[in-house]
Structure 1
Amino acid sequence: MKKITESNAARYTLILILITLFIRIWIAAYTGLGIGESYYFRGALKLDLSYFDQPPLFFWLSWVSLKIFGLNNLGLRFPAVLLFAGTSWMLFLLARKFFNAAAGFWAVAVMNLSAVFTVAIACWFQPDAPLMFFWLASAYIMANVMFDAQNKPKTATHSGMVYLQWALVGILMGLATLSKYHVVFLFAGVFIFVATNRDLRKWLLHPGPYMAIIIAFLFALPILLWNADNDWVSFVFQGSRAGSGQETSLHPEWFLRSIAGQALWLLPWVWYPLVRELFKSWKLRQQPVYGFNFWIAILPLVFFTVVTLWSNLQYHFHWQAPGYMMLFIPLGYAIDKKLSGTAAEGRGTRRWIRFSVGFTVITIGVLSLHMVTGFWQFYGPKWIVKQFHGDNVDPTIQGIDYSDIQTRFEKEGWLNNPKVFTGATRWWLTGKVDWALKGQVPIVCFSDDPRNLAFLVDPYFLQHEDCVIIGQEHEESVVADVKPFFDEVTQLKDIVVTRSGRPELHLQVYYCKNFHVPDKKRIDLPVYRQIRNRPPFGVWHDPDDE
């Protein structure tokens, strides 16, 4: 293993970033979209001030990218890949400032070995990539404005450069705000850090931070304006996920699942050292470099873990990721010290690094190959296939594009029929159908939980048209939530989703004639509200009562 020194760390970091950038470009281009990415897809086609469950920046960035690369997987994902390369460099700069360049290299290296960062955040069409980049960029500028070259609090606080840096902080935090609502923890973490450090409290009376907040607020105006026009639905939705407005009962199993899921997503042998650095940073928090990292890291980690005691966040184990990202900085320094320490410490650390590299490279390679080809189902050890697959659908099939849907639509002539739209009874399946058809057909989610899809196509203008509903063993929902809107619903031959020419998944197809207002009120369904020319969410106002 090449020794990382102060003189070569920056060069090797850039080489690492460049190599991983090209690997991720390949992954982004040749692996299919997951259910979340497919669901978000139409937002990148329809620009708006904001969106139902996420701020708008990652939609805007992919809209630009699609114009450059075309309507394909890489076009949708390229901003995430590029931004994560920038995130890696910002992590290096911050670790180099706080500790040394070697610490920066190891921080970047280990982050790129962590499962949740190296693929999910770095490759997928999600809001996390811009959040991470602008989060770290904001933190780096704040560290430079508050600390001198020796990481001691600066004494000169009213120069023109200081105000310029605070203005840049405002811009970067504004862009982070446009990325994901997690940015509130960055604001709060920095405030607590400054308020609890005697030498830094002067910033509470300085105009610079307040100027930055005003600038960030101006950047957030699109989010506020959109929500003001839509009954603040984004904040209501996100608040409901944290358990607000619900009866509270404790669920220790959700809490334990969250901790286990975080460890698995990060990889347990990476998660444990990060948690150890969290406790170490708490003990050393009076030292500015540790206190800065601790207070920015702790809030998202604690909040999104503790809230699982009463709120079922399901498998969103990546929501704590900004906190873990900050902990790679002291972890990078700890690795550098181990490698420079005793022979035993260095030998053990090198083994840990080699194992982590081997595991991540092999696992990502095998999973990516299986996701694209499905080889494991047919050539893997049969007992393992049975154990993890059984008689159910292989979960990795969600990571391929259901192109067989488009083939069927083309064969039936539905794709070019302006009087035919499509839909499903689950938001995630609606997204998969929408991406398979590349947004060429209006799409409606017949569900009480359509999320962002309810704002991207208005069913009011689809009345008296026919619809092709796609289901995945959703017969009961089709009967209850689809049939009332049509004169006739006929089940047709299934669509067989194939992978490498092999059948993997059967989707049911229903042809529905004459979309209209049902006889019975269904105000629980946003599609019913919209076909009555009312907003999809909020208080119901029946036009018949006016």
Structure 2
Amino acid sequence: MRKLTEANAALYTTILIVITFLIRIWLAAYTGLGIGEAYYFRGAVHLEWSYFDQPPLFFWLSGTSIKIFGLTNLGLRFPAVLLFAATSWLLFLITKKLFTARAGFWAVVVMNLSAVFTVAIACWFQPDAPLMFFWLASIYFIVELIFGQDSRDVRYIRSSGRTWFLWVMTGICLGLATLSKYHVLFIFVGVFMFFATSKSQRHWLWHPGPYIAILITLIFSFPVLWWNYNNNWASFVFQGSRAGTGSNFKLHFDWFFRSIGGQALWLLPWIWFPTVRQLFKSFILRRTSEIYGFFFWLSILPIVFFTVVTLWSDLQYHFHWQAPGYMMLFIPLGFAVDKSLSNQVQWTKLTRRWITFSAYFTVITIGVLSLHMVTGFWTWYGPKWIVHRFHGDNVDPTIQGVDYDDIGTRFAKEGWTQNKHLFAGSTRWWLTGKVDWALKGQKEVISFTNDPRNTAFLVDPNTVLGYDAIIIAQDQQQSVIDDVKPYFDDVKQLPDIAIIRHGVDELHLQVYYCKNFHQSGKPRPDMPLYRQLNGLPPFGK
């Protein structure tokens, strides 16, 4: 590789994006859907205005993709892979605009080495890929407005056609970001805080442009608002409840420190630390440097909000919710890396070793985990205790990333697939998704639980009254007794379905044949299914 310069940085960035794009195409095609992806699957084949968990854009994109590539893993994931490649290019352009092209290259390198970005966001069928792209797209146009104007005449800038165009494009991108994930609120607040605290940028507060952008965003968000209006605002209530305190307020410092540790682990600790250092640097320089002030306000809000909330709300393992804030910090971090490598300072050798180690670690780790997920080789050729150490039920957690195709095989063998008066279901929302993906949507699926999430809106249980059902469970016998049996005349357990990975029996799922689906004789107002069979919406009053 020739020495990185301003002249060749764009070329090297393009090569990096193309190589990582091709690698992710392979990962997307040959690794199974995780539990979240499988759960989202039905939304891509049943397109709606919006959905219970998330806004609709990533469903719409993958719904279009599977019409082109077929109902495959790659078909569902291709939009994410493509959008992340475009996100990487936007990151380069923004960093080049504010710093240097070399800094842009290093910003893209760091993002592609960070665990949560390089696989989870860049590969998986999740709402994060379109969020990151349209988040950065809106930032690109805002940067052009604030830092990209040739004239220093504020009056000219405020009245020029280019300014109006940029605000309109900002509104469109923010609107599409709103259709991706609700995080877009942090852009609005962050930009307005930057305007309010920057004397030279405060004039935007009384310019029509920002408010036109807000209006455009609201217009784009109509599908989300319309769906929620017709469904008792279920999505907003659900997402808002995650940040709530419940009935009893209590501080949980264990949740708080778990969140910080989880963020560091997801980013990789040696990338997380210098990234957070840029946050503190941006805070210190926010009054003397508009660029660093801009990054401070656009990064601090999602990081602090979703971390502080864990003091009273159990966000479990959603450590990626802070990701947009960290992505903004990759831009000044790219500049810091370039400065360290270019100026031959005392940190140059350490920086080179840091980049080399990060690259080897990320590539080797992703390679090993992907190979193990597909083949299960570590069970035989590696220390087995590693894959069981943190999983109390002695099941390799990577099996959740394997498609449960054996369910489909069993359905076909028993003739259940052809039975038009039989549906499928489970006692957990995530397992319902795995069943649904294994059957490729050929059967209606119902979650027999008080937490069915999106599945409650995509299947009307009234359409399968009187049908028989195959219920799949994973060591949830009590749930079958409590939540399934009251809805059927008879429930009979059949031989298990063994989930086989590369010839190895990895996991057993319990199978129940249930006859004559009907309303529960026992009142269960806590179950959305019970409410739906009474003609009520699944959630709300």
Give the TM-score of the pair, scaled to structure 2.
Answer: 0.98
Structure 2 residue matching 1:392: 3-state secondary structure: coil
What amino acid sits opposite 1:442 in the alignment?
E
- Larger CA deviation: 150-159 vs 363-372: 150-159
Distance 2:328 2:393 in 1: 42
Equivalence for 2:216: 215
Equivalence for 1:542: none
Equivalence for 1:72: 72
- Larger CA deviation: 150-159 vs 453-462: 150-159
Equivalence for 2:257: 256
What amino acid sits opposite 1:250 in the alignment?
L
- Larger CA deviation: 518-527 vs 253-262: 518-527
Q: Deviations over 1:137-163 (max 9, x none)?
A: 100101101223689795521111111
Equivalence for 1:282: 283
Structure 2 residue matching 1:497: 3-state secondary structure: strand
Distance 2:180 2:486 in 1: 39
Q: Deviations over 1:37-78 (max 9, x none)?
A: 000000001111100010000000000000000000000000
Q: 1:269 to 1:150 in 2, by over 3 A?
A: farther
Equivalence for 1:101: 101
Which of 442, 447, 451 in structure 1 is aligned with 2:453?
451
Equivalence for 2:141: 141
> Is this contact kept in 2: 1:107–1:332, CA < 8 A?
yes
Distance 1:482 1:120 in 2: 34
Which aligned pairs between 1:163-242 and structure 2 lie closer than 5 A?
A: 163-242=164-243
Distance 1:306 1:393 in 2: 33
Distance 1:161 1:142 in 2: 12
Which aligned pairs between 1:45-84 and structure 2 lie closer than 5 A?
A: 45-84=45-84
Shift of 1:391: 6.1
Distance 1:349 1:140 in 2: 28
Distance 2:199 2:329 in 1: 23
What amino acid sits opposite 1:26 in the alignment?
W
Q: 1:79 to 1:419 in 2, by over 3 A?
A: same
Q: 1:382 to 1:401 in 2, by over 3 A?
A: closer
Over 3 Å off, 4+ runs? 148-155, 382-391
Distance 1:152 1:358 in 2: 46
What amino acid sits opposite 1:141 in the alignment?
F
Which of 403, 409, 416 in structure 2 is aligned with 1:407?
409
For structure 1, the 5+ residue unaligned runs are: 540-546
Q: Deviations over 1:235-289 (max 9, x none)?
A: 1101111115542100000000000000000000000000000000011112111
Q: 1:383 to 1:48 in 2, by over 3 A?
A: closer
Q: Deviations over 1:429-476 (max 9, x none)?
A: 000000010111000000000000000000011100000000000100
Equivalence for 2:90: 90
Q: 1:327 to 1:342 in 2, by over 3 A?
A: same
Superposition CA RMSD, Å:
1.4
Q: 1:369 to 1:150 in 2, by over 3 A?
A: farther
For structure 2, the 5+ residue unaligned runs are: none
> Is this contact kept in 2: 1:152–1:288, CA < 8 A?
no
Shift of 1:381: 2.8
Equivalence for 2:518: 516
Distance 1:152 1:236 in 2: 46
Distance 1:49 1:126 in 2: 17
> Is this contact kept in 2: 1:151–1:288, CA < 8 A?
no
Structure 1 residue matching 2:508: 3-state secondary structure: strand
Which of 360, 363, 372 in structure 2 is aligned with 1:361?
363
What amino acid sits opposite 2:79 in the alignment?
P
Structure 2 residue matching 1:431: 3-state secondary structure: helix
Distance 2:151 2:495 in 1: 68
> Is this contact kept in 1: 2:387–2:396, CA < 8 A?
no
Q: 1:158 to 1:266 in 2, by over 3 A?
A: same
Equivalence for 2:18: 18
Q: Percentage identity across aligned positions?
A: 67
Aligned length: 539
Equivalence for 1:543: none
Shift of 1:3: 2.6
Is residue 302 of structure 1 aligned with residue 309 of structure 2?
A: no
Shift of 1:2: 4.2
Distance 2:385 2:143 in 1: 53
Q: 1:386 to 1:142 in 2, by over 3 A?
A: closer
Equivalence for 2:350: 348
